[in-house]
Amino acid sequence: MLTVAATLPTAVLAQQASAQSDDATTVDEVVVTGIRAQLRSAQAIKKNSEVIVDSVTAVDIGALPDRSVSEALQRIPGVTLQRTNAARDPARLAAEGGGVFIRGLSWVRSETNGRDIFSASNGRGLSFEDVSADLLAGVDVYKNVAANMIEGGIAGTTNLRTRVPFDNSDPLLAINADYNYGDLSEKGFWSGSILATDRWQTGIGEIGLLANVSVSNVGNRTDSISVDRYDPVTLNAGNASTDGSGTAGETVFVPKYLGWRTIDWEQKRTAVALAAQWRPNDQWLFTLQGLASQADAYNVEYALGTDSIVSPNSSYRYDEQNVFLSGNIPAATWNTDTRVGDDTKKTSDVALNFQYTPGGAWSFSGDLQYVKSSAEIYSMTAFTQLQNRPDLSITIDGDLPTVTSTGGTPEDKSAYWWAAAMDHIEDNEADELAGRLDARYDFDENSSFFKSVAFGVRGTEKNYTNRQTGYNWGLLSNQYWGNGGGAVVYLDDTGYPGGTQDPRLPNSSTLYRFDNFFRGDAPVPGVAWFPSEGLLNQGTAYAYDILRNTESSGWGWTPLSDDYESYRLGGGNGGITELTEKTQAAYVYARFGNDTGFFGRAFDGNIGLRAVDTKTTSNTVTTLPSIQGACPPANAPGANCAAFNQAVQFVNGGSLDGQPVESSYTNWLPSLNLRGFLSDTLQARFAISRAMVRPEMYQLQPFTNLSINFQPDGYTLNPTTPFTGVGGNPALRPITATNYDASLEWYFAPTGSLTFAAFHKDIKDYIFTGTETQSITNGGVTYDFLITRYTNGAEGTVDGFELAYSQFFDFLPGALSGLGFQGNFTYISSDGGKNTSQNILDTTQNGAAADSTLPLEGMSRTSYNAAILYEKYGISARLAYNWREEYLLTTSAANVNAPVWASDYGQLDGSIFYNLTKDIKIGVQSTNILNERTVLKVGSETRKPPYNWVDTDRRIAVVLRAAF
């Protein structure tokens, strides 16, 4: 059995790379591993911390209790997991979980070893799926802050901890290997990791080295059926339902479209963590840490959809809210598309830390870090359509829709034509240089109320470059709503008549069968012709070389170029955003305590103030209005052209691009943390702090699109909104919050606790879509433009509580003494605040985000975890259930253009391990044992019928772990 010494981090560790002697508590050496050791370590961290924190630990090397970081985090009270990578793209689930929310909020700061970490594709946050769980010693979730912690998280801070050589007193070699199988995809993937570490006494002091390498392969299949949003239709005598559920004159709600899809996703993640430590003497300790991770994700999607089914007929049935339930859809056009995604994301982090304790009252530490992240994203889609269209019958009033077809020839390749293509590419990168220095003075604890006072400074420079295109949709040979007079090119053709012929074209499609769709539970028409995967996964130039042979006069798709300079930021087709952000912070932080001052009981705490100055710089991109026509027009030779001519003068006055934009602001962040020891096992906490989160990078984009609006006559200005615009806002201020926390914590055993925590957040300066008037001069003409931008201003509150209980029932007789239980419950409510549009150029999104009747995105009112544990006779087993209540996923989903809600969702996971020897264990881990189905709803709070049903893999992994 492994011997593990656990060093517990406190608030100081959130800023400093390693714990310092007086700011950490060392747990006596224990000789337990597995679940008991995980719970013991996590409980000790929570108990001894000077701030409110919850943890998940991996006492066994490479053994977080779940297979991914995000899935492990959701076991913590107050933490919930969003299961889509992007809220506005709800049909595509994340295989390992998407965004992490703390206490209902997405403003979560990400750290590794107390330092900054981010993903170039996620702005300030971290894509947790890019991080290998095998590398981690644990994950800490800080729910309140102290002055010596790095700013940036209103919801909380997640700190990913890797190991260092001096964690272990003896040499260690640890190996993990597993085979992970998905039952829906019917595919398996090998993964493995190895860690080696040792320490030596040398002539120059003690030296330790550690290397940890992880190769993680994972795959996932997703099946979904969707029916889009439900539009209102007024029935008449000709289309009223025969069963009487929808009568003439009534308004019914019918989904716009019907479709189903399968997505196969695979990812290879390679990660390396290296660490070296040198203690030349008792006064100095140097730690060098490096982390590199690369995630290569590839997915193929086959999607089939119909044209509009909104037109009711007498076969349609409706429920008591007049919402469509079933019906026959005659001659529905089929749209089939294949989409390939190929993404590469890299993150590297190098940091050097020193600690100097010369003796006496003073100690010093410092840290220098460089982190770099990049994300290359490729998406390519081709569309075909079916001419000989089958009739469809759909029923959606059960647990899962059923779709059947009659007639038509879906297997006839010659009945399909080439319809359209779409591509999208990104090349994003960001890097940051950060440095800090800290000093601490320790008072004589026997004679002073204050235990220590610390102060320090920190500076950063972050450079962010976002290069991306829009989604470039273009026609090929034909659309069902009209081909514009061009020739139709079918899948078995080599090109359009009279044009270039290409023998590769007939071989660029494939007959795809939706085999085992929803494991056979959802009958759908199971076969159709789709563009082939090989057509799309070799780059846009290759796809264009073949697909251009389908284009007739006046039609055509032209692929995007990776010359991002050719695209104009804010024009809808992409562009380049470059932003530099510099921060300077200073803090003072005092620890205090007394053995009898809290109603005769001991207490301690900390009080401090952090001041941080932020400065951003960028260059403007201004798109001037486009003036069409001439004045006077031919039909009004006597027109007054003064306004028109002045507008032309403004437009032709020269470029407004490239003007430097600087924005700066200073935040003062006080904090107070108190802890009273009511007994040897019972303690109470109270904390109040000020926190901030800076605007996201996409909100700071420095573009402005200007418009001059004329009446239909073309020369008279619109009298109400003559000058308008839309743009990002590099002058945004951070969102701020005052956080109040209180907790009561009873630690009745090393692995037994009952805790209650209540919280309240006063949040100000929510970022939302607003308007402002801005005077702009060009060509000697000045106009006041009413510009739609992201803006600060809304206020709101978030309240709630968390209840957690954990215990092993050692008092039970015999084998039953190995039983344990762990559970928690969270309740959250909110008032006020505003949601944020993800795309300021999308007026539909802007309007939806401003809807005050909708709750905040991502916030479930209730959530809970319950786990039955067993550890005895060399067996470690866990059966864990995680549940969260329905919540608003997005105010406006892509293409649906309506609010989408995630229904109540609960998932059962489990694991069982057996110690073959003291050094080797073997086990099985299973995810989504009960095959829980994700159901999304669409519409308002009063009417939100289901619109999307999703099944994904149940995964089972066979795991081997060894440590010597």
Q: For the segment 46-75, what is each residue's pLDDT rounded down to a tens digit?
A: 999 999 999 988 866 666 677 778 888 889
Tally of CB atoms within 10 A around 243: 12
914-941 average pLDDT score: 92
- Quick one: 679 exposed, middle or buried, by C-beta within 10 A (0-12, 13-18, 19+)? exposed
Return the H-helix or E-strand segment holding 847.
Answer: helix 843-849
Any idea which residue has 């000789």 for tokens? 31
pLDDT value, residue 437: 97
Lowest model confidence (mean pLDDT) among 185-199, 591-605, 905-919: 591-605
Q: What is the tens place of the pLDDT at every residue in 674-699?
A: 999 999 999 999 999 999 999 998 89
| Pairing state between β 187-202 and 205-226 | antiparallel
Q: Residue 408: left (phi > 0), alpha (psi -120 to 50), or beta?
A: left
Query: Cα–Cα distance between 660 and 466 in angstroms, integer?
Result: 18
| Mean pLDDT computed over 95-119 | 86
pLDDT given at position 483? 64
Average the pLDDT over 419-442 and give the result.
94
Question: Residue 21 above 50 pLDDT?
Answer: no
147: left (phi over 0), alpha (psi -120 to 50) or beta: alpha
- What pLDDT was estimated at residue 607? 96
Mean pLDDT of 397-421: 86
Environment class of residue 284 by beta-carbon count within 10 Å: exposed (0-12), middle (13-18) or buried (19+)?
Answer: middle
Q: Is 147 exposed, middle or buried (0-12, 13-18, 19+ CB in 10 A)?
A: buried
Find tokens 């029935």 and name the residue.
235
Going by C-alpha positions, the residue among 57, 16, 53, 19 that lies closest to residue 751 is 57
Residues constituting the chain: 964
Could you tell me the CA-to-CA distances from 693 to 604, 614, 669 in Å, in that order?
28, 11, 12
- Yes or no: say if 213 and 193 are a contact pair by the CB < 8 Å rule: yes
Task: Name the pTM for this structure.
Answer: 0.90
Q: What is the pLDDT of residue 62?
A: 61
| Among the ranges given (95-104, 194-203, 821-830), the one the predictor scored with the smallest mean pLDDT | 95-104
- For residues 757, 763, 766, 772, the Cα torsion angle rounded to the nearest 10 degrees is 170
Q: Are 669 and 588 in contact (CB under 8 A)?
A: no
Q: How would you class 575 by CB atoms within 10 Å of its CB: exposed for 0-12, middle for 13-18, buried for 19 or more?
A: buried
Cα separation of 412 and 387, whole Å?
A: 10
pLDDT in tens, 734-760: 999 999 999 999 999 999 999 999 999
- pLDDT exceeds cutoff 80 at 777: yes
Please report, as a single letter, which amino acid is at residue 360. G
Cα separation, 708 vs 511, whole angstroms: 51
Please report which confidence band the pLDDT of residue 470 belongs to, taking 50, 70 and 90 as the band edges. Answer: confident
According to the CATH classification, is domain 7-330+341-627+640-665+673-963 in 2.40.50.140? no
Amino acid 3: pLDDT: 30
Q: How far apart are CA 896 and CA 937, in angstroms?
A: 11
Across residues 297-321, what is the average pLDDT? 91
Give the distance from CA 510 to its chain's centroid. 33
Residue 491 clears pLDDT 80, i.e. is over it: yes
Burial class (CB in 10 A: 0-12, 13-18, 19+), 600: exposed
Query: Do 889 and 876 contact (CB within 8 A), yes or no?
Result: no
- Asked if 653 and 662 touch (Cβ cutoff 8 Å), the reply is no
Give the pLDDT of residue 356. Answer: 97
Cis-peptide, bond into residue 632, ω within 30° of zero = yes
- Please tell me the distance from the alpha carbon of residue 326 to that of residue 318, in angstroms, as a whole number: 7
Of 144, 114, 792, 880, nearest in space to 436 by CA:
114
pLDDT at 14: 34
Q: Which of 748, 919, 769, 729 is nearest to 851 (CA)?
A: 769
Q: Say yes or no to pLDDT of 113 above 70.
A: yes
pLDDT at 199: 96
Q: How confident is residue 418, by pLDDT bands cut at 50, 70 and 90?
A: very high
- Relative to beta strand 108-112, strand 156-162 is parallel
Round to whole Å and give the CA distance between 14 and 69: 18
| pLDDT (0 to 100) of residue 12 | 34
Judged against a pLDDT cut of 70, whether residue 156 lies above it is answered with: yes
**Strand bridging mode 509-513 / 527-531:** antiparallel
Average pLDDT over the chain, rounded to an integer: 89
Provide the CB-side half-sphere exposure for 108 (13 A, CA).
29
Q: Is the confidence at residue 6, as pLDDT, over 50?
A: no
- 809-819 pLDDT, tens digit per residue, is 999 999 999 99
Q: Which of 93-102, 143-152, 268-277, 466-475 has the lowest mean pLDDT?
A: 93-102
323-339: average pLDDT: 88
Beta-carbon contacts of 204 under 8 Å, excluding residues fewer than 6 positions away, are 278, 280
User: Which pLDDT band holds residue 107 (cuts at 50, 70, 90)?
Assistant: very high
Each residue of 616-626: pLDDT tens digit? 999 988 999 98
* Per-residue pLDDT tens digits for 628-671: 888 998 888 888 999 999 999 999 998 898 889 999 999 999 99
At 539, is the secondary structure helix, strand, or coil? coil
Q: State yes or no: pLDDT of 128 exceeds 90.
A: no
User: Which position has the token pair 């032309």?
Assistant: 648
**Which structure tokens are listed for 645?**
């001519």
The dihedral region occupied by 322, where left means phi > 0, alpha psi between -120 and 50, and beta the remainder, is left
Relative to beta strand 115-116, strand 108-112 is antiparallel
Distance, CA of 207 to CA of 198 (rounded, Å): 9
Nearest Cα neighbor of 216 from 269, 294, 174 is 269
Read off the pLDDT of each residue in 468-494 and give the average, rounded to a whole number: 83
pLDDT tens by residue, 209-234: 999 999 999 999 999 999 889 999 99
What is the SS3 assignment for 110-152?
Answer: EEECCEECCCCCCCCCCCHHHCCHHHEEEEEEECCCCCCCCCC
Q: How many CA atoms lie within 13 A of 442 on its CB side?
A: 15
Residue-wise pLDDT for 851-863, tens only, equals 888 999 999 999 9
| DSSP assignments along 190-223, one per residue | EEEEEEEEEEEEETTEEEEEEEEEEEEEEEEEEE
For residue 198, the tally of other CB atoms under 10 A from its CB is 14
In three-state secondary structure terms, 900 is strand
Contacts of 448 (CB under 8 A, 6+ apart): none
What is the structure's pLDDT at 752? 94
Q: Which helix (H) or strand (E) holds 747?
A: strand 735-749
Q: Could you tell me the two tokens for 794? A: 């809304």
